[in-house]
Structure 1
Amino acid sequence: MESAPPAFARRPVLLLAGAAGLLLLAVSWRFGYFGDELYFLASWRYHLSWGYADNPWLLPLLARAMDAITPGSPLAGHVLAALLHVGGILCTALLAREFGGGKRAQLLAGTAYAISLQLLASGHILASSTVDPFLWTLICLLLVRWVRVRNEWLLFGAGLVTAVAMQGKWLIVFFWITVAIGALILGPRDLVRRTGLLSGALITLAATVPTIIWQVRNGWPYFAMAQAAQSANDALFGGRLSIPVMAIVFAGVLLGAFLACHGTWQLLRDRRYADYRFLGLAVVLLVVLFTVMSSRYYYVAGVYGLVFAASAARVERVRPAAWWRWVPTWPVAALSALITIPLTIPVLPLAWSTGLQFSVSGTIGWPEVAATTATAYRQLPSEQRARTSVLAETYWQTAALEIYAHDRLPRIHGVERGYWYYGSPARPGPVLYVGKEATRQYLSRFFTGVREVGVTRLAAPASNINQGVRVWLCTGQRAPWPQLWNQLHRY
């Protein structure tokens, strides 16, 4: 017979979620679109499809819907991101309740989610890293509740949420693989054959078929993107062994990092969590899997809420060990918040921002990049301008040109991610190449003539990603476009 969980701490949890939401809303108007937001919006406007090289269709749809509400402004998208973050806080508090946690545990788990480095930063922008954690946390809540009450509709609901998650990113597949392995090893073994779950899986498969067909027709760029993620991880963070370390660090300063490790351990060893031990094993397997694959550290952010809740319920129930007793919980949470908030969302003056604050740096300067490019194009001789193509280095830059200078430039091409699949310029001729990483020496490998004709100047710190983006005029192709296009391709 099922045991009733503690009462939901409605007032304090709603106050916490409301405070987090108000904080995000207060900064939602600052600066402009994030690079991914521009990419999703441009994908819907100019390249509508069932699939893209790096994501299915959900994020472009959401970006377009939000743009319809506040045309030309990212405000609605940022509001949606804030609401998803609030939803994650509520689901995490309810997870703590399912684990037997009362008011203190629910509030502690929700606080850890609210001020997690990764989750709070994502709560300011509309990206797959915003949508996935909420959906994963909701799935975890439905799954944990099913273990307690064995209601088949909960598993069916988890399947429906999975169907939605699959339209944003396919990472949820790895979550269910590890859950299935954990259940087969530790029980409940009947989970993998429950009617509710299998029905949800069929709906998920049916909803994903159009994207699968697109991937097949385009040579499965999804796997190439996985290899690119591995290369980026090796270059930026020193290899795959950095993934578990980064996952812990970005779970949260002080509070989140502790609860993440402690919660995983408690799911694996605490006898009160015996029925949920398979989820602890799934978390470990997920981290191992993404480490072996050398993926992104934030791919595991979707299970933060689960382990936060397990830890918080345990901390409330059992007096902490001697080495931890002297640390007062709420002052630690307050200190964590004071450190996290300035690092993740735009609460400080622009002059104080750094390139590490991706949710700030990635929202500044896109109209200026487009204006610099349009000016360089307009200043070309008319005869040359008629034959000139525009090529951007990154998918963010390409999207910015499409959104902000679509009517001032010829067709805009990109060599990164999904843009490469839209094809090269149709004929030989001069090229305006927009980028920050490319040098004259690099571009000279593809063109005989390369000269700088524009550079973006911003009233922002030098570390901003759009500070110093250059426009190069490239002439004299060294090879036909099909050959150059393959050489220029980057993920």
Structure 2
Amino acid sequence: MQTTAAPAPPPTLADTVHRFARLPVLAIAGVVAIAHLVAAGLGRGYWFDELLMLVLGRDHLDWGSADQPPLAPLLAALMDAIAPGSILALRIPAVLATAAAVVVAALIARELGGDRRAQVLTAGAQATGLWATLAGHWLTPYTLEPVQWLLLCWLLVRWVRTRDDRLLLGVGVVAGIAAETKFQVLLLCAVLVLSVLACGPRELLRRPLLWAAAGIGALLAAPTLIWQALHDWPQLRMGPVVVAESEALYGGRWGVAVLMLVGAGLAGLVLSLYGVVRLLRAGELRPYRFLGVTAVAMYVLFVVITGRPYYLDGLYGLLAAAGAVGMQRRREARRGAGTGEPSTRTWSLSWVAWPGFTASALLAGVLLVGAPMLVAPEVPEGIVAKTAAAFRELTPEQQRRTAVFGQSYIYAAYVDGYRERHGLPPAYSGNRSYGYFPPPSDDIDAVLFLGSDPEGLRPHFTDLRRVGDVGEDAGLWLATGRNGSWSAVWPQLRTLSVG
């Protein structure tokens, strides 16, 4: 008896993989790279987080620090070794990461079935994201992180389509490197696993190479996690600090909720919101639903815990890709899937898409031009110059016995970033990463304190007097007569809060 084969399942949007839109996507990425290189080279000085990366890498490179894994400091040290003192050279890795994120976002759109237009729309959305525009040329962990998250998403999307388990090994490598950049990727991976359990494809969790990848990722992340464990997990104690800073800087939970959306940019926000809807509801994207659930869960988590507005920056490109493919689906429905005759009555979004992208690009351009204005080199230089002037007022013998101490890591990083120009010794601080550096030697019995509140020093020194001002909110105090060993004093000066 002749049997008939079961009918093939209907094709889905991701069954057809279009050619990579190499020329337009690489052109957009090239424009992004050039624009950020120009912004990076305007010569307005370091962003304060860049100074911390430079100090960590150049002077205190280790497997970890209080709130920073070692990758960004390592890159800062390498670039400074290649071109000492060059801000432009220091920022090249950040610029490359920002431009690469544009390409990876477009590749995600391609894997989801996106045609040339969808890939270009996705690339444009990633290129004009407001947070990426603002910080895309600063060498910081939060600038390196987005391309890593997007690579992770691209590998997973491609695995869903191809079932090529070798891709899962790449997931492990990328996740491990991302953990050496910022710790939020550990939360992302946990949420991804839970989303796969809830939505599928559960087959992913039965693949041996996935667990081999987990081992690779754990092995790569182990050095910085071991450092954290040996130092009593300071990163876990950063939670209340982040909440307090978010309250002061961003307006608390609701401010973070709004800024996390705004950070996607004008075009990115529209495409991302549409992309979430498509990932959660579109039948042809059912295998990728776990990514939509992950994005929503991460947004809710970061709002609930009052994180920072840039925490979601690595998922905008994925969501924009799903939204751009959704717009493509509408076009195909209007055209009868290529027949040229309308088959479904749907509203065309083309009349708003390109003007919207033009507005988004203009807004990003204005922000990129204005971003260097946020870095006012005369402020840290002026602070360090006034600190140096006060230090020179001391006798040569007193100078040999006095350490410069910043109340916050920002002040200490200012001093370390510019100290060679002003003849100052290395700075110390009890704040954040500085608090886990070695204390001064015991022949140092005095401190030139830079900050706003020196009361934390009073129990440890017999005399504390003001010797100068460095700005509206900060002054200089000289603390003399240390009354305990540094090994006893240093842990009491250690703090994670900047304020």
TM-score grouping bracket, smaller chain normalisation = 0.7 to 0.9
Which one-letter code corresponds to 2:417 in the other structure? Answer: I
Compute the displacement of 1:147 (Å). 0.5
Compute the displacement of 1:476 (Å). 5.5
Deviations 1:184-209 (A, max 9, x none): 11110121232222112111111222
Which one-letter code corresponds to 1:244 in the other structure? Answer: A
Distance (Å, rounded) in 2 between the aligned partners of 1:101 and 1:364: 48
**Match of residue 208 from structure 2:** 195
Compute the displacement of 1:25 (Å). 1.6
Which one-letter code corresponds to 2:325 in the other structure? Answer: A
Which sections of structure 2, spanning at least 5 residues, go unmatched?
1-7, 9-13, 335-344
Is residue 415–residue 426 contact of structure 2 (8 Å, CA) maintained in 1?
A: no
Deviations 1:141-171 (A, max 9, x none): 1110110011011111111111111111121
Taking the TM superposition and a 5 Å limit, the aligned residue runs for 1:244-323 are: 244-252=257-265, 254-318=266-330
Distance (Å, rounded) in 2 between the aligned partners of 1:322 and 1:374: 68
Which of 397, 412, 421 is 2:411 aligned to? 397
Instruction: Return 202-211 or 143-152, whichever deviates more.
Output: 202-211
1:21 aligns with 2:33: yes
Deviations 1:309-341 (A, max 9, x none): 000111122159989848521222121222222
**Match of residue 328 from structure 1:** 352
1:129 aligns with 2:133: no
Distance (Å, rounded) in 2 between the aligned partners of 1:296 and 1:158: 25
Deviations 1:60-109 (A, max 9, x none): 11111111222111212322211111110001111111111111111111
Compute the displacement of 1:298 (Å). 1.2
Distance (Å, rounded) in 1 between the aligned partners of 2:459 and 2:354: 58
Is residue 59–residue 127 contact of structure 1 (8 Å, CA) maintained in 2?
A: yes
Task: Please give the TM-score of this superposition, normalised by the length of structure 2.
Answer: 0.86
Which one-letter code corresponds to 2:267 in the other structure? Answer: L
Is residue 434–residue 469 contact of structure 1 (8 Å, CA) maintained in 2?
A: no
Is residue 52–residue 410 contact of structure 2 (8 Å, CA) maintained in 1?
A: yes
Is residue 390–residue 467 contact of structure 2 (8 Å, CA) maintained in 1?
A: no
- SS of the residue aligned with 1:168? coil
Which of 165, 169, 179 is 1:152 aligned to? 165
Compute the displacement of 1:180 (Å). 0.8
Compute the displacement of 1:486 (Å). 2.6
Which one-letter code corresponds to 2:394 in the other structure? Answer: L
Distance (Å, rounded) in 1 between the aligned partners of 2:180 and 2:211: 18
Distance (Å, rounded) in 2 between the aligned partners of 1:73 and 1:121: 20
Which one-letter code corresponds to 2:450 in the other structure? Answer: V
1:387 aligns with 2:401: yes
Instruction: Return 267-276 or 389-398, whichever deviates more.
Output: 389-398
Compute the displacement of 1:424 (Å). 4.4
CA gap 1:270/1:317 in 2 versus in 1, 3 angstroms: same
Which of 357, 362, 365 is 1:338 aligned to? 362
Which one-letter code corresponds to 2:261 in the other structure? Answer: I
Distance (Å, rounded) in 1 between the aligned partners of 2:200 and 2:273: 22
CA gap 1:155/1:326 in 2 versus in 1, 3 angstroms: closer
- SS of the residue aligned with 1:432? strand
- SS of the residue aligned with 1:151? coil
Taking the TM superposition and a 5 Å limit, the aligned residue runs for 1:42-81 are: 42-81=55-94
Compute the displacement of 1:469 (Å). 6.9
Compute the displacement of 1:445 (Å). 8.6
Compute the displacement of 1:472 (Å). 0.7
Instruction: Return 8-17 or 326-335, whichever deviates more.
Output: 326-335
Compute the displacement of 1:430 (Å). 3.8
Which of 428, 431, 443 is 2:447 aligned to? 431
Compute the displacement of 1:370 (Å). 2.7
- SS of the residue aligned with 1:380? coil
Is residue 104–residue 151 contact of structure 2 (8 Å, CA) maintained in 1?
A: yes
**Match of residue 250 from structure 2:** 237
Instruction: Return 402-411 or 299-308, whichever deviates more.
Output: 402-411
Compute the displacement of 1:273 (Å). 0.9
Compute the displacement of 1:410 (Å). 3.7
Deviations 1:374-431 (A, max 9, x none): 2220122334333322111222321232232158334421122110122544557442
Distance (Å, rounded) in 1 between the aligned partners of 2:466 and 2:41: 38
Which one-letter code corresponds to 1:388 in the other structure? Answer: T
Which of 424, 439, 442 is 1:409 aligned to? 424
Deviations 1:424-473 (A, max 9, x none): 445574422223xx1588987987543242426xxxxxxxxxxx574412
Which of 125, 138, 142 is 2:151 aligned to? 138
Is residue 430–residue 494 contact of structure 2 (8 Å, CA) maintained in 1?
A: yes
Is residue 57–residue 75 contact of structure 2 (8 Å, CA) maintained in 1?
A: no
**Match of residue 489 from structure 1:** 495
Distance (Å, rounded) in 1 between the aligned partners of 2:404 and 2:293: 50
**Match of residue 112 from structure 2:** 99
- SS of the residue aligned with 1:318? helix
Is residue 452–residue 470 contact of structure 1 (8 Å, CA) maintained in 2?
A: no
Distance (Å, rounded) in 2 between the aligned partners of 1:471 and 1:244: 36
Which one-letter code corresponds to 2:111 in the other structure? Answer: E
- SS of the residue aligned with 1:390? strand
Compute the displacement of 1:280 (Å). 0.5
Which sections of structure 1, spanning at least 5 residues, go unmatched?
457-467
Which one-letter code corresponds to 1:89 in the other structure? Answer: V
- SS of the residue aligned with 1:240? helix
**Match of residue 339 from structure 2:** none
Is residue 373–residue 471 contact of structure 1 (8 Å, CA) maintained in 2?
A: no
Distance (Å, rounded) in 1 between the aligned partners of 2:479 and 2:411: 21
Distance (Å, rounded) in 1 between the aligned partners of 2:350 and 2:161: 34
CA gap 1:364/1:159 in 2 versus in 1, 3 angstroms: farther
Distance (Å, rounded) in 1 between the aligned partners of 2:31 and 2:246: 34
Is residue 70–residue 76 contact of structure 1 (8 Å, CA) maintained in 2?
A: yes
Task: Please give the TM-score of this superposition, normalised by the length of structure 1.
Answer: 0.87
Is residue 447–residue 480 contact of structure 2 (8 Å, CA) maintained in 1?
A: no
**Match of residue 463 from structure 1:** none
1:11 aligns with 2:26: no
Is residue 178–residue 283 contact of structure 1 (8 Å, CA) maintained in 2?
A: no
Which one-letter code corresponds to 2:449 in the other structure? Answer: Y
**Match of residue 110 from structure 1:** 123
Which one-letter code corresponds to 1:415 in the other structure? Answer: G
- SS of the residue aligned with 2:253? coil
Which one-letter code corresponds to 2:82 in the other structure? Answer: I
- Aligned alpha-carbon RMSD (Å): 2.8
